[in-house]
Every structure is written in C-alpha cells, then in structure tokens.
C-alpha cells in the first residue's frame, strides 16, 4: 500500500487499535496526526515509546469539545475515527459518560469534517451492536440490539454517522470489527485477562465460560481499516471485519493454557459475570462483504495471533494489573 504524503487524522490514536493503525499508516508513507486525549501529563498512550514517534504529529484534545476537534481536522485528507469509551462493565455504572464520548464525540468529529475537504471518514463500530446472534454468521443486515449502555452508545454513533452520510453526503465508511485482540490490549478484554493470569497466577478466574466470540488479530483489523480507506464504491457502507469463526470463553482459556504448556485450573468468579440479559452469548461474524468490497480476509490464524500476543504480554507484564478484576 502506498499512502505517500496523504494527510490522515486518527482519533483514539493512543489506544490499542489506534496505535497499531497509526504506526502502520506511517509505515505506508502517510503524514499522520494522532488525536490524543488531553491529560495534564500529556500522555501519548501506546504511542509514548513508538519507534515512529518523531514521524507523527500530535494533537492533544477531547472529542467531546467541538473546537478541539475542528482544529485537528484542518488540512486533513482523510480521517479514522476510533476514539471511544469502550469498557462495558463501566458503562453499567456510568452510561452518561459513554453517551457523551461515543455519541456526542462522533457528532463533533462529523460536524468538523463538514467544514473541511476530507475525502473519506472511516467510522469505527463494534460487533457488540448486534447483541446475541439471531443467526450465524452475522452479516451487516442483522438486527441491532443494545445489551449494554456501551452497545447503545455505539449504535447511536453508527446511526449518527449514517445520518450524516444520507443528510449531508459526508463520505463515511463504517467498519465493524469483531473482538480484536493482540499486543497492547488492556486486560479489560478477555484474551489479555486469560494470558496475564496464566503467566503469573496459580489459577485463571473468569466469568461466564459459555459465550462465544469471533476473534480477529489486530494486524488483520488494521489492514481492514486501511483497505476501507482505499477501496472504491464503499462510501455509505457498513462492513464487518471478522474471522467467520467462533470460540467459547472456556475453550479459549484452554487453548491459551495449551499454547503455554501449563497445567492451571479455571475458576468461575461471580463478580466477573455481566447481568444476565446483558451478556452477549454468541458472536460469529460474516466477512463476505469485506472480501467482496475490500478484498480483505484475515491472514492470522487464532493460534498464530495468540502466540504473538502471549509473547508480547510476557515481556510487558508491567502494563497489567494482575491481581485485580479490571473493568
């Protein structure tokens, strides 16, 4: 891929997927501006120690503030919008924060884009908007069901993006990743939760072992995002990025145990479970549309992706709170 000198803004650039995307865009020659959530420490998140740090422009701000977003979008060719509040358990306690960040923040990003000459906006959705699958594999026509305040905020953001495309002609593509995992993911997510415990504890504590997830390695997800930037005839489309395969939480834990070659029991801990009707029991996505429109399909098998993730986490355990349940 050649993105030489293409001016690209990435919101949420300091996060898990955002940092991988930002670095990959730099590798492809893009002139990248990373929109970083302002804190008094001016932390760059996962870009703090990036080998590409000198090649990235940084804009510190808050997507909840329109003026901050508008300033960042000036002279930008394309925009990847990944900034979001993503913690599902925290959304039970603070739904308003998710609405303000995920919905109002998206309005600010899209309104700012109206004042610029952005050629394409890649808006980030999530497979959580589908809720428990009615049928599998889940295609993009599957009904939407908000089984958590987080999911509701993302459905709202998706519909805001759709409305700005239909009402104002904004060149938006919505990408809907399924359960991305890989290096740098926090242990709010299931894969690093299992790996960190398997590496450091004498047992693995989990919630419900039965739900299934469709796991996509972060490098595959990033390549899907970039394909959406370059593909013709995708404006206005919503496109899944998935492996078209599912694995239960319990089977995933056993697979990681097997890869590590350890003998460690799995224990169900009640506090880690979601409210009964909030638990998404089954996710398995169709990637047929991505194959057709983006010429994209996942390159990493689950075992290969897990091996790379395990190797990275084993070298960076200082980033993880091992002894507590992270929400």
Q: What does the alpha-carbon distance between residue 29 and residue 230 come to, in Å, rounded to a whole number? A: 14
For residue 321, what pLDDT is reported? 76
For residue 240, what pLDDT is reported? 98
Place of tokens 């998404």: 280
Q: How many CB atoms lie within 10 A of CB 74?
A: 13
Q: What does the alpha-carbon distance between residue 70 and residue 99 come to, in Å, rounded to a whole number? A: 20
For residue 270, what pLDDT is reported? 75
| Closest alpha carbon to 221 in 236, 242, 238 | 242
pLDDT in tens, 81-93: 999 999 898 999 9
For residue 201, what pLDDT is reported? 92
Class of domain 7-182+218-243+285-299: alpha beta
pLDDT in tens, 179-229: 999 999 998 899 999 999 999 999 999 989 999 999 999 999 999 999 999
Could you say which residues of the chain have pLDDT below 70? 1, 272-273, 322-327
| Closest alpha carbon to 162 in 153, 152, 171 | 171
For residue 292, what pLDDT is reported? 98
For residue 238, what pLDDT is reported? 98
Q: What are phi and psi for residue 267, nearest 5 degrees?
A: -120, 135
Residue ranges covered by each domain of the chain = 7-182+218-243+285-299
The residues near 128 (Cβ < 8 Å, ≥ 6 apart) are 88, 147, 148, 150, 151, 154, 280
| Closest alpha carbon to 105 in 84, 130, 128 | 84
Whether the CB-CB separation of 137 and 285 falls below 8 Å is answered with yes
For residue 211, what pLDDT is reported? 96
């Amino acid at each position: 891929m050649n993105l030489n000198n293409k001016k690209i803004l990435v919101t949420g650039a300091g996060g898990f997927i955002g940092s991988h995307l930002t670095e990959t865009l730099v590798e492809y020659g893009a002139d990248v501006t990373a929109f970083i959530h302002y804190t008094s420490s001016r932390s760059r998140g996962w870009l703090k120690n990036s080998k590409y740090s000198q090649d990235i422009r940084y804009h510190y701000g808050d997507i909840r503030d329109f003026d901050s977003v508008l300033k960042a979008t000036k002279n930008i060719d394309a925009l990847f919008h990944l900034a979001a509040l993503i913690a599902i358990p925290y959304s039970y306690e603070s739904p308003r924060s998710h609405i303000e960040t995920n919905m109002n923040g998206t309005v600010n990003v899209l309104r700012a884009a109206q004042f610029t000459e952005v050629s394409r906006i890649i808006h980030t959705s999530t497979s959580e908007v589908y809720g428990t699958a009615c049928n599998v594999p889940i295609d993009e026509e599957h009904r939407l069901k908000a089984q958590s305040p987080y999911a509701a905020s993302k459905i709202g953001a998706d519909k805001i993006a759709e409305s700005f495309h239909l009402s104002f002609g904004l060149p938006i593509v919505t990408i809907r990743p399924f359960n991305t995992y890989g290096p740098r993911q926090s242990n709010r997510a299931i894969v690093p939760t299992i790996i960190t415990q398997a590496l450091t504890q004498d047992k693995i504590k989990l919630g419900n072992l039965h739900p299934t997830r469709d796991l996509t390695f972060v490098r595959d997800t990033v390549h899907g995002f970039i394909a959406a930037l370059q593909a013709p005839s995708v404006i206005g489309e919503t496109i899944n990025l998935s492996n078209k395969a599912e694995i239960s939480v319990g089977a995933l834990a056993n697979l990681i145990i097997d890869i590590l070659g350890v003998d460690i029991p799995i224990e169900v801990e009640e506090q880690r479970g979601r409210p009964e009707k909030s638990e998404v029991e089954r996710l398995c996505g169709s990637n047929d549309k991505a194959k057709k429109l983006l010429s994209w399909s996942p390159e990493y098998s689950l075992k290969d992706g897990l091996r790379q993730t395990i190797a990275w986490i084993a070298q960076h355990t200082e980033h993880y709170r091992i002894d507590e349940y992270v929400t």
